[in-house]
Structure 1
């Protein structure tokens, strides 16, 4: 079921309602360009669309012709006479293998692809967060990411999986680091997941820190991490195809390294650094990062050939599947992973040119 509503409590209620009913949600952020929204809607072809006035305006009347719209502003909504209790999943034949959401990639590495993530992957993510970040019922989690981006799922399950409060800052706070800093302090936010670029643009990045500050979306610079010493800093890495997050690194108090690692796998996740023949590379050598375990997505919607190419059977664990990330990494002496870039046609890393699938010499 597609959902195109403005950033509001109704957005969160809509997402939870779809999940509780055992459905899969397709987020369409009204702030995105109309062409992007129509492209996603046309490719996914959802049966239903939950929309408000902002969503309908963003999509335009032409895009609404071939989909049944559930209008949030209807005087007598379709669900008015339905039971207020949650449906019983077992009675509906639902399992953890049903889809939770389909989120489209940005298209930065080609045509946007709809990634199909199942309920069990989202549950695994939430349970891992409780342990890694100490989220509890007294926590206050900020929902910063656009809900068209998979980091929003990360924020939602972090809060509601622990019974914590979820805070939705207005766009004016999200788009200006100085206003966001004031918002985080005023709302006593304990857990924030923010892009390093936002912090880098701040004159005083340390003032943006909450009790736990998770950096995600891009590799942060070491000097930025050192400037955030007032918080518990975590660097999170993961593609959309591995249910948001695959590895995390917690910054030690005495961190003074030249690079920020992406850390180690979260619970029920396996990572492998492989060469062009599918074999493990030597410790310290560069290899392509493959991810296995509970977070691996079902595949790409309507893209069976690409799914078969990027999601493969694991040769290491029977019954497991691996996602071929296209990212290069190596193990550091302490066992943490260092991210080194994309394994595109040619990638230059610190003076070494690595051909696709080849193993770089130990750096």
Structure 2
């Protein structure tokens, strides 16, 4: 169990404490090098000032279209310091999808951009020192991506990583005189946890209508998860690796676990995360204690020449898809001293709700485990009634980590977030997962009640892909399924197209290809659907 001696559950307040108590300790490491807690906190303060100058107010949503890097973490803290809500978007997504998500969430500011060169950084410092009043406009506005919604402003967070103390002070005081929000952000949040009711982030997940849906999570839900999962982690963790996409919550165990406990967070470069030998060398060189990863990704990385180096020193957390027992057994053989935790939880219930330690299982995959301390889990039938112990039904989740609902989707929210029959005004989230409770109290995953699948840890609604295909010229109809070549193999998407013009689907394949984490797919074309007899 990880120690938790703070008097606040608000993450920025905890980071502020680390900046005071251990200012020169390393907080973050990415491809540009280490960043200490003091510099992280000051950087986020300058960004918070820029957000206030751009008119961001409590409750507003700010898009972060950034890769895994120190700027992404600083941007999150900045957004939270002004009590706003961040919306992470994957910059690699198609422009039409990015534009729709940015418009749907109503963001007025988009944080994006690349690292500045040393010359550009010097220019920022000189500009700030010369004229603090216009520092925000001069330093951090960028031309913006082509998918930017009309009227939105872009900020480059790297422009605020200012090494000069005088320039930093000048930038920190930009437009501060009339801004109560600015003073609150700069003074640092107090231990008053009333701020926990505010939304912390919105994450978009796949939707069966062809449009993704945004899940709204509060600071209270995130804090409940971090408190609960801390009780399941072993002692002695001092560092964690973060190698998941920023646009999903799979990596929040590492990302926010590090900010919660004061670990050093290693933000793994995308090229290193895809290279088994490079990743193994990084983990070994930096002696990383904790890793959260999708089982299929880990399976690929274990092809490294020194496979045992891929694994962390103290704790490996598997999540995002069912964990094969054969993989768990190999992990136990390669590094027996590393505690293996199977981790389950939909985005709608703040990262995770069930965990299970150990590699042993009689089934082909590890059980999901038992609920965290704040979680209420129950299995119901089609009418919402509790099933007898051991019977199969739909897994429903209640407790402090349940999301507010879906952004701008009241009907879907009412459908999936239902009243708790035990009363007290609480709600249960219907996961859509088939499950049953085992004799020892653990829950087992038995598949889905709908067509949703997991591809490399990402939730994918095949109907969303099919709907996108049907919009393409020459495609009469489309059906998309998940297919595995063999038992235990990672699934891939297979699209069946009915085309009026046979050449058109091939010509436009690049347009309709799924996003990067779904690239392993194939396509079959029909003039009409085969008839079943």
TM-score range for the pair, normalised by the shorter chain length: 0.7 to 0.9
Displacement of 1:151: 1.8
The answer to whether the 8 A contact 2:66-2:246 is kept is: no
**Closer, same or farther: CA 62–322 of 1 in aligned 2, 3 Å:** closer
**Closer, same or farther: CA 108–58 of 1 in aligned 2, 3 Å:** farther
The answer to whether the 8 A contact 2:243-2:267 is kept is: yes
The superposition leaves residues 198-232 of structure 1 with CA deviations (integer Å, 9 ceiling, x where unpaired) of 12223365542212000011001110111100221
- Structure 2 equivalent of residue 120 of structure 1: 220
- Structure 2 equivalent of residue 294 of structure 1: 400
Residue 95 of structure 1 aligns to a residue whose secondary structure is helix
Structure 1 regions of 5+ residues with no counterpart? 348-363
The superposition leaves residues 133-184 of structure 1 with CA deviations (integer Å, 9 ceiling, x where unpaired) of 1366x51111111111112333222111111111111111111233222211
The answer to whether the 8 A contact 2:95-2:146 is kept is: no
The answer to whether the 8 A contact 1:127-1:161 is kept is: no
Displacement of 1:40: 1.0
Residue 272 of structure 2 aligns to a residue whose secondary structure is helix
The answer to whether the 8 A contact 2:418-2:428 is kept is: yes
The superposition leaves residues 225-272 of structure 1 with CA deviations (integer Å, 9 ceiling, x where unpaired) of 1110022111111111000111111115x5555431000111210111
| Aligned counterpart in structure 1 of residue 204 of structure 2, from 101, 104, 111 | 104
Within the alignment, does 1:29 sit opposite 2:135 as a pair?
A: no
- Rounded Cα–Cα distance in structure 2 between residues aligned with 1:144 and 1:296: 25
Within the alignment, does 1:52 sit opposite 2:52 as a pair?
A: no
Residue 25 of structure 1 aligns to a residue whose secondary structure is strand
- Rounded Cα–Cα distance in structure 2 between residues aligned with 1:11 and 1:41: 17
Within the alignment, does 1:212 sit opposite 2:315 as a pair?
A: yes
Within the alignment, does 1:86 sit opposite 2:208 as a pair?
A: no
Structure 2 regions of 5+ residues with no counterpart? 1-61, 116-139, 161-166, 177-182, 454-533
**Closer, same or farther: CA 89–39 of 1 in aligned 2, 3 Å:** farther
- Structure 2 equivalent of residue 353 of structure 1: none
**Closer, same or farther: CA 255–130 of 1 in aligned 2, 3 Å:** same
Within the alignment, does 1:150 sit opposite 2:249 as a pair?
A: yes
| Aligned counterpart in structure 2 of residue 10 of structure 1, from 71, 85, 88 | 71
The answer to whether the 8 A contact 1:22-1:89 is kept is: no
Residue 151 of structure 1 aligns to a residue whose secondary structure is coil
Residue 22 of structure 1 aligns to a residue whose secondary structure is coil
| Aligned counterpart in structure 2 of residue 274 of structure 1, from 377, 380, 385 | 380
Displacement of 1:111: 2.8
The answer to whether the 8 A contact 1:6-1:52 is kept is: no
**Structure having the higher Rg:** 2
Residue 340 of structure 1 aligns to a residue whose secondary structure is strand
- Structure 2 equivalent of residue 160 of structure 1: 259
Displacement of 1:58: 11
Residue 132 of structure 1 aligns to a residue whose secondary structure is coil
Residue 267 of structure 1 aligns to a residue whose secondary structure is coil
- Rounded Cα–Cα distance in structure 1 between residues aligned with 2:208 and 2:142: 26
- Between the two proteins, the alignment pairs up a number of residues equal to 343
Displacement of 1:32: 2.8
Within the alignment, does 1:130 sit opposite 2:230 as a pair?
A: yes
**Closer, same or farther: CA 58–141 of 1 in aligned 2, 3 Å:** farther
**Closer, same or farther: CA 139–8 of 1 in aligned 2, 3 Å:** same
Displacement of 1:47: 2.4
- Rounded Cα–Cα distance in structure 2 between residues aligned with 1:101 and 1:135: 29
Within the alignment, does 1:183 sit opposite 2:262 as a pair?
A: no
Displacement of 1:31: 2.8
Residue 397 of structure 2 aligns to a residue whose secondary structure is strand
- Rounded Cα–Cα distance in structure 2 between residues aligned with 1:195 and 1:65: 37
Residue 214 of structure 1 aligns to a residue whose secondary structure is strand
- Structure 2 equivalent of residue 285 of structure 1: 391
- Structure 1 equivalent of residue 350 of structure 2: 243
| Aligned counterpart in structure 1 of residue 413 of structure 2, from 294, 300, 307 | 307
The answer to whether the 8 A contact 2:99-2:147 is kept is: no
- Rounded Cα–Cα distance in structure 2 between residues aligned with 1:274 and 1:341: 15
The answer to whether the 8 A contact 2:203-2:248 is kept is: yes
